[in-house]
Amino acid sequence: MANEIGVTEVSAVGVDAVSNLVQEVLKQQSILLPTIKQYAAGEGEKSVSISRRDQFAAASKTENTDLTAQTLTFAADKIDLNKHKAIYAKLERIAGAQSMVNVSAEVITEMTQELALQVDKDILVQLKLVSSSAPDHLLDYSNTPTDTIQAVDILEARRLLNVQKVPMAGRYMLISPDQEKAMLQIANFIEVDKYGADAVALKNGELGRIYGFTVLMHTELAANETLFYHESHAAFARQLQVEYATSFDLKSVSQEFLMHHLYGVKVLDLGKRGVFFNGAGA
């Protein structure tokens, strides 16, 4: 499916069908949503709790000596469902009638793109909340004069995630457009067009892979920002799916459009599953 809603899609379906179509397109256009954990919230809930626990340690059994009982300590990360994002627009009937384009379709397309971008912006805020406790996950680049990513920085991020016992699968590296040139100059970087037989379905914004990270580019990162994280570093919970509604306002002779949804985003595990280079290390 193409990542846009055009005349064909809109003219053939009703409001409910448009809402379903918009939901699918929003998922495709968001770069970050597919890279983190996602949960659903039921009616009446104001938050979603995600449990986490510590780990058992394998012990050696000595003859005639009892083992020491181990315990699991549980905690929870709470995702507040407090992001009710909406876009409202009005189109005067005369403007719609005399336009050379299907303005209604363009309105829906723009609303969908903006909601997808807002989701990414909210996710980015949480991804940057990395642990500053020892070992510090908020770092400066090794090449401080230029604040550009180097192989040694990627290896340090990998080491920090390994120390936290973060799984190897599901790791991402997120770079800004300004860091892309430096990234392409790193010898071990495998670009997407060189995947060959190992090619799999690509993520939106995917540039390649390096040292176990899937590399994505996002325009909302500042020039000196680079993020490394596991898919469990943050979580997204949605309570209201994207809803689309339209009505005719008699007094203004205008068509009204509304698109909205309700969700929450939260960094998990005290930010230990992410590493953030911001050109300052603070």
Contact yes or no for 281/250 (Cβ under 8 A): no
- Whole-angstrom distance, CA of residue 208 vs CA of residue 217: 10
Q: What's the pLDDT tens digit per position in 17-40?
A: 666 667 677 767 889 999 999 998
pLDDT at 12 over 90: no
Cα 152 to the center of its chain, rounded Å: 25
Place of tokens 């009982």: 69
pLDDT for residue 190: 84
Structure tokens at 64: 């005639």
Q: Which of 130-144, 164-178, 193-207 is predicted least confidently?
A: 193-207
| Better-scored residue on pLDDT, 16 or 155 | 155
pLDDT given for residue 10 in this prediction: 47
Mean pLDDT across 146-158: 95
> pLDDT (tens digit, 9 = 90+) per residue, 184-215?
889 889 887 776 655 565 777 888 999 999 99
Percent of the chain with pLDDT over 70: 86
**Sheet bearing 254-267, strands edge to edge:** 37-40, 234-249, 254-267, 83-92
Give per-residue burial for 173-207: e unless 16+ CB within 10 Å, then b. Answer: bbbbeebeebbeebeebeeeeeeeeeeeeebbbbb
Q: Is 202 helix (H, G, I), strand (E, B) or coil?
A: coil
pLDDT-derived band at 68 (thresholds 50, 70, 90) equals confident
Q: How many percent of the chain have pLDDT more than 90? A: 54
Burial class for 26, CB neighbours closer than 10 Å (0-12, 13-18, 19+): buried
Residue 6 has pLDDT above 70, yes or no: no
Question: Which residue do the tokens 């793109």 mark?
Answer: 113
Mean pLDDT score, 234-240: 95
Mean pLDDT, all residues of the chain: 86
Mean pLDDT of all residues in 263-279:
95
Following DSSP, what letter does each residue of 42-96 receive, concatenated?
-TT-SEEEEEEE------PPPTT-PPPP----EEEEEEE--EEEEEEEEEEHHHH
- Angular region, 275: left φ>0, alpha ψ -120 to 50, beta rest: beta
Q: What average pLDDT does this structure show over 144-150? A: 91
In angstroms, the CA 138 to CA 227 distance is 10
Determine how many CB atoms are found less than 10 A away from the CB of residue 109: 19
Indicate whether 44 pLDDT > 80: yes
pLDDT at 248: 92
